[in-house]
C-alpha cells in the first residue's frame, strides 16, 4: 500500500483539520445504481460478489473511476459477520436477507460461536489488499461493520422488518440470552475490524441501521454499550465513524465516545446535529437519498446549502442513508461535482 495518499482530504476532515472544501463520498456508492455494477450483478449472485476478492475490489473502485469521490468504501455486507459465526444468512431475491431458522431462544444463542476472522473472513482481507492495489494511493479506503444491535435484529427476526418486533421481544423477555448474543457479535466485530485495519483500510464505519427502533433507554442497554466497546477497541488503530439511523437522541453520548465522526440522517437538521453533538466533532451526512431524484441543478443548490449549514470544517458530505438503486447516474454525479466545485 502506498505510504502517501494523493488525496487525504477525508482523513484530514476526520481529524478536524481546516480544509479548503469538505470531502465527499456516498453510502452504498459501490453498487446498485451504476451500470457497470449491474453488468457484474447479472453474472454473480450477491454473496458471490462479496466473497470473491476480484469482484469486491472491482466493484469498490468503480465509483472512484467514474466520479472521483474522496474515499472508497469496500464492497461487502454487514451479514458476512454472522455468516462467519455459523449463522447461515442468504440473500433471497425479492426478499433480501433471509435466515431459515432465526435465533429465538437461549439454546440457539449457545450454538453461535466467535470465529477466527483471519480464517473465516480472509476473503474480505484479500479484497482490501486488491482494492488498495487498484486505488494506487488515490483515496483512502473505508471498512465497515453493522452494529451488534443491527446484526442481532436480523439474526432474531430472520429477515428485514418494519419494526423488528421479534428482536425487541427477545431482548425484553430474555435479556440475559440477548446480551450473550450481543456480546458474541461485539467480540467478533472488534476482531473483524482490527483485521481490516491490519489489511489496509484507513478508517472504519459502524452502521447502526436499526438503532432508531429502540427507545433512548433501551438504546443505551441493547445498542450503545456494545458500540462503545467497539469504538474504544478500534480508536487507537484507526478513525471510527458511528452512523445510527434515527438515533439523533444519542448524538451527545456518541460525541463523547472517542469516535472521530458521527453520521447524521436526513431527519435531523445540520444546526440541530451540531448542537446535540456539542459542536466539536466531525459530522457526516445528511442529504436525503430520495432528493437525488431532484433535477441536477436543484441537487447542486441543495448541496451548497447543506455545506453552509454544517460548515465546511469538521464535516464530510454524504447522504443520510445509502444511495437508492433508481438514482440516475448523472444525478449522483451532480451531487459529487457540487461538493468538488464548492468554494465559500
Which residues are identified as catalytic? 28, 32, 41, 77, 154
Annotated binding site for substrate: 28-32, 47, 77, 154, 209, 321
CB burial of residue 162 (10 Å; 0-12, 13-18, 19+): exposed
CA distances from 176 to 23, 115, 173, 183, 221 (A): 43, 21, 9, 11, 12
Q: Which residues contact 323 (CB under 8 A, 6 or more apart)?
A: 26, 27, 28, 29, 32, 33, 289, 292, 332
Are 127 and 56 in contact by the 8 Å Cβ rule? The answer is yes
Residue 76, SS3 per DSSP? coil
DSSP calls for 123-135: HHHHHHHHHHHHH
Are 107 and 101 in contact by the 8 Å Cβ rule? The answer is no
Are 47 and 93 in contact by the 8 Å Cβ rule? The answer is no
CA distances from 294 to 31, 39, 66, 305 (A): 20, 26, 21, 15
CA dist 292 and 298 (Å) reads 9
Are 282 and 315 in contact by the 8 Å Cβ rule? The answer is yes
Annotated binding site: 28-32, 47, 77, 154, 209, 321
Rg of the chain on CA atoms, in Å: 19
Q: Which residues contact 98 (CB under 8 A, 6 or more apart)?
A: 89, 90, 91, 92, 158, 159
Grid cell locating 152: 442481532
Dihedral sign, Cα of residue 27, residue 31, residue 33, residue 36: positive
Q: How many residues does the chain have?
A: 344
Amino acid at each position: 500500500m502506498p505510504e502517501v495518499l494523493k488525496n487525504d482530504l477525508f482523513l484530514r476532515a476526520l481529524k478536524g483539520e481546516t480544509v479548503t472544501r469538505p470531502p465527499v463520498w456516498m453510502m452504498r456508492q459501490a453498487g446498485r445504481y451504476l451500470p457497470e455494477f449491474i453488468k457484474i450483478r447479472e453474472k454473480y449472485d450477491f454473496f458471490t460478489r462479496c466473497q470473491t476478492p476480484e469482484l469486491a475490489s472491482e466493484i469498490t473502485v468503480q465509483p472512484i473511476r467514474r466520479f472521483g469521490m474522496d474515499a472508497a468504501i469496500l464492497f461487502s455486507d454487514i451479514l458476512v459477520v454472522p455468516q462467519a459465526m455459523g449463522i447461515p444468512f442468504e440473500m433471497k431475491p425479492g426478499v433480501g436477507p433471509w435466515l431459515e431458522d432465526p435465533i429465538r431462544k437461549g439454546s440457539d444463542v449457545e450454538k453461535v460461536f466467535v470465529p477466527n476472522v483471519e480464517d473465516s473472513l480472509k476473503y474480505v482481507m484479500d479484497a482490501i489488499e486488491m482494492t488498495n492495489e487498484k486505488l494506487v494511493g488515490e483515496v483512502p479506503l473505508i471498512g465497515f461493520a453493522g452494529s451488534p444491535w443491527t446484526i442481532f435484529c436480523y439474526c432474531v427476526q430472520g429477515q428485514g422488518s418494519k419494526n423488528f418486533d421479534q428482536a425487541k421481544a427477545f431482548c425484553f423477555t430474555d435479556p440475559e440470552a440477548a446480551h450473550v448474543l450481543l456480546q458474541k457479535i461485539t467480540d467478533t466485530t472488534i476482531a473483524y475490524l482490527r483485521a481490516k485495519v491490519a489489511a489496509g483500510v484507513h478508517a472504519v464505519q459502524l452502521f447502526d441501521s436499526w438503532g432508531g427502533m429502540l427507545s433512548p433507554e433501551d438504546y443505551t442497554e441493547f445498542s450503545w454499550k456494545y458500540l462503545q466497546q467497539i469504538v474504544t477497541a478500534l480508536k487507537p488503530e484507526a478513525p471510527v465513524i458511528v452512523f445510527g439511523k434515527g438515533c439523533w437522541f444519542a448524538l451527545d453520548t456518541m460525541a463523547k465516545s472517542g469516535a472521530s465522526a458521527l453520521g447524521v440522517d436526513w431527519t435531523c437538521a445540520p444546526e440541530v446535529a451540531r448542537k446535540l453533538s456539542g459542536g466539536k466533532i466531525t459530522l457526516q451526512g445528511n442529504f436525503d437519498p430520495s432528493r437525488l431524484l431532484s433535477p441536477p441543478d436543484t441537487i447542486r443548490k441543495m448541496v451548497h446549502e447543506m455545506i453552509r449549514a454544517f460548515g465546511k470544517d469538521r464535516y464530510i458530505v454524504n447522504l443520510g442513508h445509502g444511495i437508492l438503486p433508481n438514482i440516475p447516474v448523472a444525478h449522483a454525479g451532480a451531487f459529487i461535482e457540487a461538493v468538488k466545485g464548492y468554494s465559500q
